[in-house]
């Protein structure tokens, strides 16, 4: 048997079963399908889609890890650094009384 014949005969699983296999919520799997990360198959006469676990596992290995990005606002390279002890002394209510 060729590899192509074997891949066609691989059992298809539901979105819920694929989600349980990789440890995510079924909604996450549907999001991955809509983004094109997971190939999915619609079987005629059924409402849902099915996935091949081998393709899901292969896609999980292909998704790159996100890289750290510089923060914005009060974090990151443009953060304003405040010396807290001086700020507390500046707003000391006992001194103003």
The answer to the question of residue 90 being in a domain is: no
pLDDT at 80 > cutoff 90: no
Which domain does 14 fall in, by range? 3-63
CA dist list (Å): 12 to 25, 74, 84: 18, 48, 60
pLDDT at 53 > cutoff 60: yes
- The count of structural domains within the chain is 1
Cα 8 from Cα 42, distance rounded (Å)? 14
Cα 89 from Cα 24, distance rounded (Å)? 50
The answer to the question of residue 24 being in a domain is: yes
The answer to the question of residue 38 being in a domain is: yes
Cα 82 from Cα 39, distance rounded (Å)? 51
The answer to the question of residue 57 being in a domain is: yes
The answer to the question of residue 68 being in a domain is: no
pLDDT at 18 > cutoff 70: yes
What is the domain-level CATH number for residue 50?
Answer: 1.10.10
For the chain, give the percent of residues with pLDDT over 90.
34
């Amino acid at each position: 048997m060729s590899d192509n014949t074997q891949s066609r005969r691989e059992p298809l699983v539901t979105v819920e079963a694929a989600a349980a296999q990789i440890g995510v919520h079924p909604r996450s799997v549907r999001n991955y399908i809509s983004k094109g990360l997971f190939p999915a198959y619609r079987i005629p006469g059924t409402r849902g889609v099915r996935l091949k676990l081998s393709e899901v596992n292969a896609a999980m290995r292909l998704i790159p890890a996100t890289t750290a990005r510089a923060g914005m606002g009060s974090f990151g390279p443009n953060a304003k650094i405040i010396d807290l002890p001086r700020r507390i002394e500046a707003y000391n209510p006992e001194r103003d009384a």
